[in-house]
Amino acid sequence: MNAVAPLVDDDHADLLAQIRAARVYEVAQVSALEPAPLLGERLGRPVLLKREDQQSVFSFKLRGAYNRMVQLDAAQRARGVVAASAGNHAQGVALAAAKLGIRAAIVMPVTAPQLKVDAVRRFGGAMVDVVLAGDSYSDAQAAAAQLQAERGAVFVHPFDDPAVIAGQGTVALEILLQHPGPLEAVFVPVGGGGLAAGVAACIKALRPAVRVIGVQAADSDAMARSLDAGERVVLDEVGLFADGTAVKQVGALTFALCRQHVDAMLRVDADAICAAIRDIYQDSRSVPEPSGALALAGLKQYAAAHGGGAGALVAIVSGANMNFDRLRFVAERAELGEQREAVFAVTIPEERGSFRRFCAALGRHAITEFNYRIGDARSAHIFVGVRIARRGEREALAAAFRAQAFELLDLTDDELAKLHLRHMIGGRSPLARDERLYRFEFPERPGALTDFLGRLHPDWNVSLFHYRNHGADHGRILVGLQVPAAELPLLRQFLAALGYPHVDESAHPAYRRLLRS
């Protein structure tokens, strides 16, 4: 890869000058800074959305990509460029290549949503070759490095490049011009750190009292961990729900700038992101991608902990390249993210009147899901979802169930229940002896599920299997394997060789109550 040029930033002046000189408006527009009145009223704070999802490639990424490529000299343009991206940066590079007449090879993982692959080809036209390689951004980056070496091309980095950072920093210039009034904090989604580095350096140079807060998915928090450690760390795995910010290691330059200028980092989970997607939709009738809603999820977390501030809160809506199939998952999890749904596993006695007592305990609450299965002659098991208005109602419901002497598990914050158990019914099986339960993730590509099944050990019977396509880059499955105790060391060896991220759920209380024989 090309070495990153040094960036002098003693008093912010050098980077600020680069941001002000960035040539982004040949392809980008000044995106709107819009109020979110419904959310603002709910939080009791003015909330503004910086609508980078309105750009022609539906994300901010074209700013940095174009600013980098427009500065190439004639010899560099003749050699062409190479880029690696899971989607949004690829679209920016493709648009810039077509605009500037530069040949580009863009490497994308085979797991990249078809929506984004098609968009790259559409924006780039005849100037762009799309190469699909590997299951992750890291695989694509390795393939791009090989292509660059073979062709002698220029690598256009998605975040760790001064020109890219300066291009992204123009977002902050616009925010400050659009809102000269009181401004408490700007929330920025963080993956590799290019947007956060540019935005933070610009704001701290011009309005240092304004807080700049980075937001990351809790399972892709490379920047937050690096800032905590004082050095760049490498994550073993990244969650891919917010795929646009799923980076295992942040850039050297972006880390240095964020360490200097970013005031704080927040982590949010998938449910909070889904709730933020819904908030944006309700206020703007637009649907951001998960990474595009990260900043607002962080803003909501901050507002809950810091009431009564003096200025507006701004969230950068960074992109809207949403895979349509993912909307089902978003809709399901948004209620949980906003704490508007409580999920319980309730065991009631098999006796006259117990079901009536269960319904009485529910009261007038709206039911979002109800699964019932007789357990044995003594008890029955119910999986129930209930719509609530506030967290206190969840605790009151739990107390009402316990007052009836029902056994209760609160599964509202339980990942196994939310991903799998709520979609399963059937109860216990006396045939499932020696069952071990595992939750797996594997790359979601054509044939991936068949490949996974083919790699399972032929001597162990599959006693339970649940798979549901969430429209994401990784498939999630729940597998029960019948493995005698004497063979557990062999099972552990097999799982290590398999190489897929997995969680042993054999001791999970809801599994043991609802499905374990």
Positions marked catalytic: 61, 318
Separation CA 153–CA 252 (nearest Å): 22
Q: Return the structure tokens found at 183.
A: 């401004």
Give the torsion sign (CA, 297, 299, 300, 301): positive
Question: Are 401 and 408 contacting, i.e. CB atoms less than 8 angstroms apart?
Answer: yes
User: Cβ–Cβ contacts within 10 Å for residue 6, how many?
Assistant: 8
Q: Return the structure tokens found at 163.
A: 């020109």
User: Cβ–Cβ contacts within 10 Å for residue 209, how many?
Assistant: 11
Q: Return the structure tokens found at 182.
A: 């009181």
Separation CA 512–CA 191 (nearest Å): 38
Separation CA 435–CA 483 (nearest Å): 6
Residue among 460, 411, 410 nearest 436 (CA): 460
Q: Return the structure tokens found at 286.
A: 């637009």
Separation CA 512–CA 382 (nearest Å): 14
C-alpha pair distances (Å), 507 with each of 60, 406, 500, 516: 45, 21, 20, 10
Question: Are 203 and 176 contacting, i.e. CB atoms less than 8 angstroms apart?
Answer: yes
